[in-house]
Structure 1
C-alpha cells in the first residue's frame, strides 16, 4: 500500500466509523499526511447522509426523518467531534483560568455546560435538517457542510498553536503542521464542491434554484473560513492555543452554521 493510500485510509479510520480494513503504522507523519483527505471523509459522510435523507423523506414525515438523519450523522463519526464540542463547552464556559479550563477539558466526565451545549446544538441541527427536508427531496448541497467543516480543522491545526504543546493526542500527532498541509487540503474540498455543482442539475435539487445553489457554493466556503477563524481566535485567546477537543468543536460549530446558511438561502433568497 503506497503512502497516499495509507494516508487516505488513516483519515477514514480516524475521523469516521466507515469499515476501512487496513493495518496502518500510525506515526505523526502519517497523521499529518492524512489531513489532506479530511474533506473526502466529510464528503463520504455528507453523501451517506444525503442518501439517508432521500430515503427517509420518501418514507416518513420531515421531523422523524430529520431525527433519524441526524442520528446517522452522529453515528458515522462515532460522536468524536460531538465529544470535543462538549469538552470545549465545559472548559470555556467555566470561566476559570487557562490551566483550569485545560484541566476540565481533559476530564473524561461531561459537566452541565457540556450537556447544555450538546442539547442545544443537536436541537438546532435537527431543526435545520427538518427545514431542508420539509420541501421533499433533500438538496445535494447538504453534503458540503461536512466537507468544509473538516477542511477548517486542517486549517486550524496549521494556523494556531497547540495549547498543550506536544502533550495529548493532537499535540503528539499533529504538532508541526504547516501552511502547506492546510493548502494541500484545499484542492480536495474545492473539487468535491465542484463535483456537487456538476451533479446538482441531475440530483437533489429540492427547493433550491440554480441561483440559490450558486450562492451556496460561494458562501459556504467563505462562511466556514470566517466563522471558524473568529471562533479559533477566541479559543486561542482563552486557552493559549487549540486542542483536539477544540478541533472537534470547530467542526461541529461550522457544520451547524453552514446548515443555517443553506436554510437562509432556501427561505429568504
Structure 2
C-alpha cells in the first residue's frame, strides 16, 4: 500500500502542479508510477469537466470552454503544451536527428511551436464550445486519460532518443505493469459508449490507435526514439483529436 501511495504521489506531482506531501524519489519508483498516468488523466479530465459544467451555467459555452482549457493549462503547468511546441520546433527546424534534438532543448519557442499551440488550443476550445455539454464533459475526461495512455504506448514501442534527459527514467518502465492503464482504457471506452454512442466509442478507439501508430512511425524515422517533449506532444495531439472525433460522430 505504501508503494502505491508513493507511485500515485509521484504521478500526480509529475503531471500536475498540485502540492502534495513529499515522498522519497527514485528513478525506479518514478518508472513504476507511469502506470497511474491514465488514471491521473481521468481525475484531471473529471475536474475540468465539472468546472466546464459549472461555468456553462453562468457564461456562454464558448467562454466556459476557453476558461476550462486555461484552467487545464494552469493545473498541469503547461507541461504537455511545452512538449508539443518543442517537438514541433525540433522536427520542423531540421531533418537531422542531432540538430532536431538540440532545437528541442532550446527554451526559446519558434514559429512551428507557436503555430502548433495556436492550432491545438483553437481546436480544443472550438470543439468544446460546439459539442453538447455532456458530450464535451466526456471528451475532457477521455482526452486527458487517453492522451496519457498514448504516452505509455510510445514508451513501450520506442527507445529513449537521448543519452540523458528528464524523461530518461521512463526507459526503465517500458515493460512495467499495464493492467491499470488497460482498466483505465476500458473504463473510458465504456463511458464514451454509454454517454454518446457505441459508434463514437469505436471510432475514438480506432482514431487514437491510428494517431499513436503515426506518431511512433514518425518519431522512429526522425529521431529514432522518444523524448519527454515527444510524450507531451503525443498527449496534446490525442487530447485535441478526441473532441474532433466526437464532433464528427454527432
Confirm or deny a common fold (TM above 0.5). yes
Take 2:53 and 2:40, find their aligned partners in 1: how far apart are those partners? Answer: 20
The aligned counterpart of 1:130 is: 129
Gaps of 5+ in 1: 206-211
Q: 1:218 to 1:18 in 2, by over 3 A?
A: farther
The aligned counterpart of 1:178 is: 174
> Does structure 1 residue 5 correspond to structure 2 residue 5?
yes
Instruction: Report matched runs for 1:71-220 at 5 Å.
Output: 71-132=70-131, 135-142=132-139, 143-165=141-163, 167-171=164-168, 173-182=169-178, 184-194=180-190, 196=191, 212-220=196-204
- Could you give the per-residue CA deviations for residues 194-215 of structure 1, whole angstroms, max 9, x where no partner exists? 4x369x5xxxx5xxxxxx4322
CA contact (8 A) 1:90 1:111 kept: yes
Take 1:227 and 1:94, find their aligned partners in 2: how far apart are those partners? Answer: 22
Aligned length: 249
TM-score normalised by structure 2 residue count: 0.92
Deviation, 1:182, is 4.2
- Could you give the per-residue CA deviations for residues 59-104 of structure 1, whole angstroms, max 9, x where no partner exists? 1112211111111121121100000000000000113311100000
Q: 1:72 to 1:91 in 2, by over 3 A?
A: same
The aligned counterpart of 1:27 is: 26
Deviation, 1:184, is 4.7
Gaps of 5+ in 2: none
- Could you give the per-residue CA deviations for residues 137-191 of structure 1, whole angstroms, max 9, x where no partner exists? 55442211111110111121121111113x00111x1122233444552123323
The aligned counterpart of 1:14 is: 14
TM-score normalised by structure 1 residue count: 0.86
Take 1:52 and 1:255, find their aligned partners in 2: how far apart are those partners? Answer: 17
The aligned counterpart of 2:225 is: 241
